[in-house]
Chains A and B, each alone.
Chain A
Amino acid sequence: MKTWKKLKENPKLWDRYFVREKVLRETRNFFLKEGFHEVETPLLNPALPPESYLEVFETELIFRDKTRRRAFLTASPEMSLKKLLAAGIGDCFEICKSFRNQEDRSLLHNPEFTMIEWYRVNADYRKVMEDVENWIYYLAANPDIQCHCESDVTSDEAIPSGLPRHFVPRNDKLQNSGILTYKNKTLDLTPPWERISIKESFQKYAGLDLDSHFDLEKMKKAAKKKGYKVENNTWEELFNQIFLNEIEPHLGNEGKPTIIYDYPKDMAALAKLKKSDPNYAERFEFYLFGIELGDAYTELTDWKEQEERFKNEVQLRKKLGKIEFDYDRDFIEALKSGLPDCSGIAVGLDRLIMILANADNVADTLFFPAVELFS
């Protein structure tokens, strides 16, 4: 049944869908209070950041005089935002739709999704970590983001008076204290959250000393011993196999959300290297209930390195048979003119909304999920 019909039949379902408008509104409030500018950048672009593994939506722009130009739906507002940072806008954020093609038909992914990206100038990733903690705590502790969140299967479970099912007070006096329950699991969102470096996480959960395994052959040996297939694998693929199977399931699943930081430098090509240990770069991700929600960097400001990286990605896309397009010279021009020291993050809002609405999947928080539109 189409979602609009379900809503018409069972008006109790509206609450779950209204979590989205509340999250969007309160997110704007949070960043505006922090003194950020909210900006809009184009969804339709002549060029996109070349990211080798993602497929894009291509279309065509036709002017009245029949001039034709290739055009792409944005996969991330990053390049536009960085041009504005180079121009001197200061702290800024954007909430926008982003597009990815050739993904699995899935209730967890929508080919168009809502993303927030924000940048802080004269700040490194530690400041953005604090933003993440404060923002999500602010959302979860906000008594207005309350949803009794009926599931499609009606249940007569009693809901304590006035309290949303997924916010349980820490004690009788403290309502909506930031204790979040999702699918019978609970997290305390009060800052600070758990912070663990990639290196510590490999030691703790996989019993592997990453520093002595930067060499491909050594990594292969260790992965093989653990039972993974290692032939034809790159170092990054081996890293991912261990990370995804042995480490990720623990993240944001042990009482507090987790911020995991300092990635091997090859896995964070657009992040600044750590001064204290240049094998690692200043990148972090954060997790709630084992679900990855955002990816942040202390941004690389070196235009030469950026251009080099783009050229490699363009080549890689060609090799992988993805839609080919040139990189944005105007973006390199902007970096050349001087990007201030800054740190930024991209967060998928759909998954966050799914968690706050206590929904099983992203499609259950969208009025018109793609799986339904294109079924």
Chain B
Amino acid sequence: MSCGKIHIHMTKISTSDFKKGIFILFKNENYQIVESTHVNPGKGSAFVRVRLKSLKRGNVEEFTYKSGETVEEIPIETREMQYIYKENEKYVFMDPKSYEQYSLSKEILGEQAGYLKEGNVYQILVNNEEPLSIRFPKKVTFKVVEAGEGARGNTVSSGAKKSVKLENGMSVEVPLFIKDGEMVVVDTETGTYVERG
């Protein structure tokens, strides 16, 4: 396993540097940008609408910046860590090199916590020895444990869907042809079915 710093930035950034996934200081707290849209209203100066996830509470807030305003970016390094267990609403990871343990709260992980598999290695985003968030692979594969009935006569192109239960307890909408025991690929950002695994 390798670990180490991927990049270190200047901490002052402008709204034109905003992109999904970066971490900034907002009202003196840590937030992650979920969405950022630059708006030219036509009449008047431009602005930038952002949706920010609070790393403390896990909720998403909206704010509108003046275009060009500067904010503090929180420098992040990525470390690979193994997920070991869940304890008291916290998810505990271990750095396989130093054996040091770090934990992320259920507020930070939200529904994505369902994608964790014990023993697997994940990228943990760390600032100043404090874990802030996790970067999941874009796609993960799970086994279907309860597929239910697919309607008869439906073909691949009909577009009809049904809800199935996965081995991790999550439910996902899949095409009718998916059966018990099959593997399916799920998009970790949207929680939607991608393809057969």
Measuring CB to CB, which residues of chain A are less than 8 angstroms from any residue of chain B? 9-10, 12, 51, 53-54, 76, 100, 103-104, 106, 108-109, 153-154, 227, 229, 233-234, 236-237, 240-241, 244-245, 248-249, 267, 292, 295
Interface-side segment among B59-67, B79-87, B92-100, B109-117: B59-67
Do A241 and B64 form a contact, CB below 8 Å, given A9-B159, A54-B42? yes
Do A51 and B43 form a contact, CB below 8 Å, given A153-B192, A241-B64? yes
B44 in contact with A240 (CB, 8 Å): yes
Q: Does B40 contact A (CB under 8 A)?
A: yes
Q: Does B161 contact A (CB under 8 A)?
A: yes
B37 in contact with A237 (CB, 8 Å): no
B159 in contact with A54 (CB, 8 Å): no
Q: Does B47 contact A (CB under 8 A)?
A: yes
Q: Does B107 contact A (CB under 8 A)?
A: no
B70 (CB) vs chain A CBs: closest residue: A229
Q: Does B143 contact A (CB under 8 A)?
A: no
Contact of B37 among A106, A227, A248 (CB under 8 A): A106
A53 in contact with B173 (CB, 8 Å): no
| Residues on B with beta carbons closer than 8 Å to the beta carbon of A100 | 40, 42
| Residues on B with beta carbons closer than 8 Å to the beta carbon of A292 | 41
Q: Does B157 contact A (CB under 8 A)?
A: yes
A104 in contact with B38 (CB, 8 Å): yes
B42 (CB) vs chain A CBs: closest residue: A54
B159 in contact with A154 (CB, 8 Å): yes
A267 in contact with B44 (CB, 8 Å): yes
A237 in contact with B45 (CB, 8 Å): yes
Measuring CB to CB, which residues of chain B are less than 8 angstroms from any residue of chain A? 27, 37-47, 49, 62-64, 66, 69, 157, 159-161, 173, 192
Closest Cβ–Cβ distance, residue B28 to chain A (whole Å): 10
Given contacts A244-B64, A248-B64, 11 further A-B contacts (CB under 8 A): A53-B40, A53-B41, A53-B44, A54-B42, A103-B40, A227-B27, A236-B44, A240-B66, A241-B66, A244-B47, A245-B64
Alpha-carbon distance between A258 and B196 when the two chains are bound, in angstroms? 48
Residue contacts A-B, CB under 8 angstroms, 22 given: A10-B159, A53-B40, A53-B46, A54-B40, A54-B42, A100-B42, A104-B38, A104-B39, A106-B37, A154-B161, A154-B173, A233-B66, A240-B47, A240-B66, A241-B66, A244-B47, A244-B49, A244-B64, A249-B62, A292-B41, A295-B42, A295-B43
| Residues on B with beta carbons closer than 8 Å to the beta carbon of A12 | 159
Alpha-carbon distance between A181 and B46 when the two chains are bound, in angstroms? 30
Alpha-carbon distance between A241 and B62 when the two chains are bound, in angstroms? 13
Alpha-carbon distance between A33 and B39 when the two chains are bound, in angstroms? 35
Closest Cβ–Cβ distance, residue B158 to chain A (whole Å): 8
Alpha-carbon distance between A240 and B64 when the two chains are bound, in angstroms? 9
